[in-house]
Amino acid sequence: MRSVAQTMTLQSAGRRLPEKTQHLRDLNQHNGWLLEGQIERNQQALEVLKPHQEPTLYGADGQTSVSHRGGKKISI
């Protein structure tokens, strides 16, 4: 059996629940807007960098596709 204090605590928490839920919903929406802005800025940065990228830096074997002078391939 619950005490009067426990019942009052539960009732108080129940009354605050919609307010807390709305606050969390608002924070989540704000975070979504921040993420959308960051994704857009990242996309713009990638569009600037794409024309200047190397065709392929590393091959399927993990080695650079262009051999460097004096470089040696080591197999393990």
Query: Is 28 within a domain?
Result: yes
Mean pLDDT value across residues 4-30: 93
Q: Answer whether residue 38 is part of any domain.
A: yes
Residues 9 and 32: their CA atoms lie apart, in Å, by 33
Q: What are the CA-CA distances from residue 4 to residues 12, 13, 16, 49 (Å)?
A: 12, 14, 19, 66
Percentage of the chain modeled with pLDDT above 90: 43
pLDDT of residue 56: 66
Which residue range forms the structural domain that includes residue 43?
A: 18-50
Domain presence at residue 26: yes
Residue 56 resides in a domain: no
Please check whether residue 71 lies inside any domain of the structure: no
- Asked if residue 55 belongs to a domain, the reply is no
Q: How high is the pLDDT of residue 69?
A: 55
> In the numeric block, which tokens belong to residue 34?
């921040």
Percent of the chain with pLDDT over 70: 83
Q: Report if residue 43 sits inside a domain.
A: yes
Total domains, the chain: 1
With the C-alpha atoms ordered 57, 62, 65, 71, is the resulting torsion angle positive or negative?
A: positive
What whole-number distance in Å separates Cα of residue 41 and Cα of residue 17?
A: 36
Judge whether 40 lies within some domain: yes
Average pLDDT of span 12-16: 90
pTM above 0.85, yes or no: no
